């Protein structure tokens, strides 16, 4: 079994790492401690740059505007994104949006995809999910007792 990392993945990882190092890490001190809405304009500018560089939506298939990475390549990209607290947001790969986009791609109706998926992919809206049960209030999915 070949465990080597493909050259194309190595190149992508270098690009992502360089972006995080040059564009995000220097901002952290200035942005930390401020409210999210205060720093949003700076982060949105970085998002536009990520789009221009072709790095937007690493986890999403290319036919939906993403990079189209497989699970292992995406895991390695996530290691790089985690170098900054803003990495996942700037690349539009943050929870819960990333998972909700995948669910909408796989199971969403055309109407749901038009209304929710397209704006999520474009980075214009955020998503959420909620869960609660009578004996298990809160948001820890491990505690869910309901089964299908």
C-alpha dist (Å) from residue 133 to 76, 95, 99, 123, 143? 35, 22, 22, 31, 9
Same domain for 55 and 84: yes
Same domain for 62 and 103: no
Residue 145 is assigned to a structural domain of this protein: no
pLDDT of 139 above 80 = no
77-90: pLDDT as tens digits: 999 999 999 999 99
pTM of the model: 0.89
Residue 141 is assigned to a structural domain of this protein: no
Residue 147 is assigned to a structural domain of this protein: no
Residue 140, pLDDT score: 78
Separate counts of helices (H) and strands (E) for the chain: 8, 0
pLDDT of 146 above 90 = no
Into how many domains does the chain fold? Answer: 2
Bridge partners, 136 (sequence order): 133
Q: Pick the closest to residue 90 from 22, 30, 25, 24 (CA basis).
A: 24
Per-residue confidence band for 21, with pLDDT thresholds at 50, 70 and 90:
very high
| CA 58 to centroid of chain Cα atoms | 8
Residue 72's domain is classified under what CATH number?
A: 1.10.540.10
- Point out the least confidently predicted range of 64-73, 107-116, 133-142: 133-142
pLDDT of 131 above 90 = no
Same domain for 60 and 22: yes
Determine the structural domain holding residue 99 and report its residue range. 95-131
């Amino acid at each position: 079994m070949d465990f080597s990392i493909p050259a194309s993945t190595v190149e992508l990882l270098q690009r992502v790492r360089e972006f995080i190092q040059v564009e995000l890490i220097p901002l952290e001190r200035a942005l930390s401690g401020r409210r999210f809405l205060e720093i949003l304009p700076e982060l949105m500018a970085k998002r536009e740059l990520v789009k221009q560089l072709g790095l937007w939506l690493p986890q999403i298939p290319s036919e939906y505007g993403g990079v189209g990475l497989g699970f292992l390549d995406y895991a390695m990209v996530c290691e790089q994104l985690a170098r900054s607290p803003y990495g996942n947001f700037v690349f539009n790969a943050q929870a819960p949006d990333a998972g909700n986009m995948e669910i909408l791609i796989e199971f969403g109706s055309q109407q749901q995809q038009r209304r929710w998926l397209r704006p999520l992919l474009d980075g214009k809206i955020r998503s959420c999910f909620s869960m609660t049960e009578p004996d298990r209030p809160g948001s820890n999915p491990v505690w869910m007792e309901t089964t299908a």
